[in-house]
């Protein structure tokens, strides 16, 4: 069963013993290979073994997809774990061993993204730094700031001083403290490694240096009983500005104290036709041949490029391209519109809804609560906004566990019996509903019923009050912002958690790992693709960044690809934006 429907390359990767670096081209079945690798390694474990095979992913969505697919394969969920690197650090290192670190001994809470952005925005204003400028909050292994600019280091000093006062740690502190615990107390790494048979890392090319350090420290403590399986594609390394590093085989072997790493390829592309593959091959950093092996391999499809249209006419043109695909009987959820910056998602969605009133759209990145993923009330809202069903029971069970953990993290206590276990939490939530039609009122009503049924004491409620205020304040701010124009009814909120059925609108980086029959990408302009932050970064080559982003964008398409570099967009000073550099130099005969 484990090797069913795998290619010879995939089977070799799954069977390979020891440490592996898997170079997987777009559409080659990387996620499928990771899932079968996990299943294969779990099958080798003794029934009484306490060891697990785990997957460390770049996004929560990827982690949940791996979890769901392993469940469908019938793999014992007690033998596997999947989550982001931050989730791994929190669950496996910070929570069990925080008492050993002075900075965490008096308790801590996790800063959600909205808190971090708000605090940094205040400090930028204090120091006269422009609000749109990024500040690198990452740490080096020695605990120093990765940020290079002196003025921004001063902001970070104030930022961390405030975090200490409020006993808050952000995601970057979480990584640094995890590494610090492992290095100060080697026995911690030894204990964790004794529980891990295999560590799979998805999208290794976007992994931070501290992440390599954390995982390899654990593996090095295992006396060769824990293996590392890295999978990714160096040409899709688009998170350099977020600290992503695509370490090569030699450097990874160095991290593993000289232990051998087997380098294996996945070269067949099941996704795109050969014409699209040949188009984006020119964006590769090295000329590796990619062969279309799917049923659409020989289809011609359509590849267009428009650099004449003005931004004021853009929506009409995109609507035309969407209709063109719909006329070909391409399903709505097989059409994707890629925007260069997140702030364009809302306006594009709103305008297209007016142009195409009979079409459905999925712009789930606009979720009003999206910046509060580590908030207790966000975790509770997921359970109230999803419909109970056998297909997602395991996932909701996992979410219920996260809710219990978050409550304990905040209060130091547990829910009273019988609600201290996941199953009973789900049963309770399934019995609660509200007649309110507006999402905020609906959630407030459900939350209050939940509190009443659990008979939470006043002290616990006082501790959770700040989280409540932050959660609902951010939703209100998003709903009242005319730039977002997000629906406020409960049906719209529930739809955010349903399987995508409409035309997808997302950013170029947000869509990574997905695939569509038709891809329409606009805003292919210098300053957007690549972003100004990448252009002005002292460590980033603009042309290299441009190549990688175009590689990711084009490789999402199965059959049809429409690229647009519109006229009329300018910098803040009114200077016209130029075409993304790589497109200017590309000699290609496009379709009309």
Please identify, among 494, 522, 539, the residue that sits at the C-terminal boundary of a domain. Answer: 494
**Which residues make Cβ contacts (< 8 Å) with residue 242, sequence separation at least 6?**
206, 208
- Evaluate the omega torsion of the peptide bond into residue 564 and state whether it is cis, within 30 degrees of 0: no
| Residue 421, phi then psi, degrees to nearest 5 | -125, 150
Collapsing DSSP states into helix, strand and coil, what is residue 55? strand
Evaluate if residue 82 carries a pLDDT over 60: yes
* CA distances in angstroms from 264 to 11, 21, 100, listed in the order given: 11, 6, 40
Structure tokens at 415: 């829910």
- At residue 587, the pLDDT reads 86
Indicate whether 149 and 216 sit together in one domain.
no
Do both 514 and 490 map to the same domain? no
- Residues 423-451 have pLDDT tens digits of 999 999 999 999 999 999 999 999 999 99
Q: At 21, which helix (H) or strand (E)? A: strand 19-24
Distance CA(592)–CA(544), nearest Å, equals: 29
Degrees, nearest 5: CA angle 392-60-482: 100
pLDDT in tens, 348-377: 887 898 899 888 887 655 566 666 677 899
| CB-CB contact of 37 with 14 (8 Å) | yes
Residues 511 and 480 in one domain: no
pLDDT tens sequence across 59-72:
877 888 888 888 88
CA–CA gap between residue 45 and residue 42 (Å, rounded): 5
Query: Is 103 part of any domain?
Result: no
Are 363 and 312 part of one and the same domain? yes
Q: What is the mean pLDDT of the chain?
A: 88
Q: List, for residues 287-343, the tens digit of each pLDDT value.
A: 678 889 999 999 999 999 999 999 999 999 999 999 999 999 999 999 999 998 877
Give the integer Cα–Cα distance in Å for 437 and 491.
8
Are residue 81 and residue 220 in the same domain, yes or no? yes
My answer on whether 353 and 383 are in the same domain is no
150 within a domain of the structure (yes/no):
yes
Tell me how far apart the alpha carbons of residues 28 and 9 are, in angstroms, rounded to a whole number.
Answer: 10
Q: DSSP letter string over 217-239?
A: HHHHTTTT-SEEEEEE-GGG---
CA distances from 497 to 112, 298, 362, 427 (A): 20, 36, 11, 19
Mean pLDDT of 405-413: 83
Q: Residue 133, class by beta-carbon neighbours within 10 Å (0-12 exposed, 13-18 middle, 19+ buried)?
A: middle
Residue 396 lies in a domain: yes
Whether residue 581 lies inside any domain: the answer is: yes
Q: What is the DSSP letter of 134?
A: -
Mark whether 20 and 90 lie in a shared domain. yes
pLDDT at 190 over 70: yes
Q: Which domain holds residue 511?
A: 274-367+498-585
Note whether 32 and 90 are same-domain residues.
yes
The separation between the first and the last C-alpha atoms of the chain, rounded to the nearest angstrom, is 47
Reading the block at residue 422, the tokens are: 């996941």
Check: CB of residue 552 under 8 Å from CB of residue 236: yes
**Residue 118 above 90 pLDDT?**
no
Give me the mean pLDDT over the 43-72 stretch. 86
Domains of the chain: total: 4
Is-contact 284 555, C-beta < 8 A?
A: no
Cα 362 to Cα 499: distance, rounded to the nearest angstrom: 10
Domain closes at, from 219, 240, 266: 266
User: Is residue 99 assigned to a domain?
Assistant: no
Q: For residue 408, is it within any domain?
A: yes
Q: Which of 332, 279, 331 lies closest to 301, judged by CA? A: 279
Per-residue pLDDT averaged across 413-419, rounded? Answer: 89
Query: Residue 461's Cα: distance from chain center in Å?
Result: 31
- Sign of the alpha-carbon dihedral angle for 534, 538, 542, 546: negative
Tally the C-alpha atoms within 13 A of residue 316's C-alpha that lie toward its C-beta: 5
Structure tokens at 90: 């929190």
Do 151 and 195 lie in one domain? The reply is: no
User: ∠ CA(264), CA(266), CA(268), 5° rounding?
Assistant: 155
**Do 215 and 252 belong together in one domain?**
yes
The enclosing H or E element of 398 equals: helix 393-411
Of the pLDDT bands very low, low, confident and very high (cuts 50, 70, 90), residue 241 is: low
**Stretch 483-496: mean pLDDT:** 75
Summarised one tens digit per residue, pLDDT across range 157-173 is 999 999 999 889 999 99
Backbone angles phi, psi at 119, to 5 degrees: -65, -45
Q: Tell me, what CATH number does 522's domain have?
A: 3.40.50.300
Please classify residue 440 by burial: count the beta carbons closer than 10 Å to its beta carbon, then call 0-12 exposed, 13-18 middle and 19+ buried: middle
The pLDDT confidence band at residue 539, using thresholds 50, 70 and 90, is low
Give dist(CA 70, CA 52) in Å, integer.
13
Give the single-character DSSP code of 91.
I
267 Rama class: left (phi>0) / alpha (psi -120 to 50) / beta? alpha
Q: Tell me how far apart the alpha carbons of residues 565 and 524 are, in angstroms, rounded to a whole number.
A: 5
CA distance 572 to 394: 48
Contact 399, 425 (CB under 8 A): no
What are the φ and ψ backbone dihedral angles of 145, each rounded to 5 degrees?
-70, 140
Q: 352 and 422: one domain?
A: no
- Single pTM value for the model: 0.83
- The tokens for 421 are 């276990």
User: 219 with 199: CB under 8 angstroms?
Assistant: yes
Q: How far apart are CA 306 and CA 421, in angstroms?
A: 56
The Cα 20–Cα 226 span in angstroms is 12
Q: Residue 339 forms beta bridges with which residues?
A: 507
Q: Region 530-559: what's the mean pLDDT? A: 77
d(CA 510, CA 303): 22
Using CA atoms, how far apart are residues 233 and 246, in angstroms rounded to an integer? 8
Q: Looking at the domain assignment, is residue 100 inside a domain?
A: no
Helix H or strand E encompassing 124: helix 113-127
Domain edge (last residue) among 474, 494, 514? 494
Would residue 172 count as lying in a domain? no
- Residues 77 and 226 both lie in one domain: yes
In this structure, what DSSP letter does residue 111 have? P
Answer for the pair 225, 199: CB distance below 8 angstroms, yes or no. no
């Amino acid at each position: 069963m484990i090797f069913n429907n795998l290619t010879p390359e995939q089977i070799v990767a799954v069977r390979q013993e020891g440490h592996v670096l898997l170079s997987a081209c777009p559409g080659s079945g990387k996620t499928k290979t990771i899932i079968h690798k996990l299943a294969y390694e779990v099958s080798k474990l003794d029934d009484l073994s306490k060891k697990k095979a785990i997957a460390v992913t770049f996004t929560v969505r990827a982690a949940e997809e791996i979890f769901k697919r392993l469940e469908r394969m019938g793999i014992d969920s007690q033998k596997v774990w999947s989550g982001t690197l931050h989730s791994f650090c929190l669950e496996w290192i910070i929570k069990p061993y925080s008492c050993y670190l002075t900075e965490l001994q008096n308790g801590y809470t996790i800063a959600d993204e909205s808190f971090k952005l708000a605090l940094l925005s205040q400090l930028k204003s204090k120091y006269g730094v422009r609000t749109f400028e990024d500040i690198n909050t990452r740490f080096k292994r020695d605990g120093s700031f990765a940020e290079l600019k002196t003025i921004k280091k001063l902001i970070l000093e104030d930022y961390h001083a405030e975090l200490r006062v409020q006993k808050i740690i952000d995601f970057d502190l979480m990584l640094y403290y995890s590494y610090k615990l492992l290095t100060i107390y080697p026995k911690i790494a030894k204990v964790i490694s004794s529980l891990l048979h295999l560590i799979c890392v998805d999208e290794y090319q976007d992994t931070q240096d501290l992440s390599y350090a954390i995982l390899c420290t654990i593996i090095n403590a295992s006396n060769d009983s824990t293996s590392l399986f890295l999978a990714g594609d160096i040409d899709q390394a688009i998170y350099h500005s977020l600290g992503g590093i695509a370490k090569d085989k030699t450097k990874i072997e160095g991290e593993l104290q000289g232990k051998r790493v087997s380098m294996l390829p996945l070269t067949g592309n099941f996704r795109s036709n050969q014409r699209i593959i040949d188009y984006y091959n020119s964006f590769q950093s090295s000329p590796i041949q990619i062969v279309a092996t799917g049923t659409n391999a020989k289809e011609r499809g359509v590849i267009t490029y428009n650099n004449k249209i003005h931004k004021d006419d853009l929506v009409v043109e995109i609507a035309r391209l969407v209709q063109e695909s719909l006329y070909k009987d391409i399903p709505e959820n097989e059409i994707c519109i890629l925007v260069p910056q997140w702030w364009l998602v809302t306006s594009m969605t709103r305008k297209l809804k007016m142009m195409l009133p009979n079409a459905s759209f999925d712009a789930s990145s606009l979720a009003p609560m999206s910046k509060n993923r580590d908030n207790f009330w966000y975790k509770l809202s997921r359970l109230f906004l999803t419909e109970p069903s056998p297909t997602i029971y395991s996932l909701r069970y996992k979410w219920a566990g996260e809710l219990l953990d978050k409550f304990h993290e905040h209060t130091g206590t547990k829910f009273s019996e019988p609600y201290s276990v996941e199953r009973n939490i789900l049963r309770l939530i399934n019995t609660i509903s509200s007649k309110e039609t507006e999402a905020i009122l609906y959630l407030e009503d459900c939350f209050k019923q939940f509190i009443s049924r659990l008979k939470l004491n006043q002290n616990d409620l006082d501790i959770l009050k700040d989280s409540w205020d932050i959660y609902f304040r951010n939703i209100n701010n998003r709903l009242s912002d005319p730039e977002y124009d997000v629906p406020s009814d409960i049906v719209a909120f529930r739809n955010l958690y349903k399987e995508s059925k409409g035309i997808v609108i997302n950013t170029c980086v947000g869509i990574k790992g997905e695939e569509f029959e038709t891809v329409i990408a606009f805003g292919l302009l210098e300053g957007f693709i690549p972003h100004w932050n990448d252009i002005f970064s002292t460590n980033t080559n603009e042309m290299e960044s441009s190549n990688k982003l175009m590689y990711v964008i084009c490789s999402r398409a199965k059959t049809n690809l429409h690229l647009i570099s519109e006229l009329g967009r300018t910098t803040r000073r009114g200077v016209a934006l130029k075409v993304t550099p790589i497109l200017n130099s590309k000699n290609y005969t496009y379709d009309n």
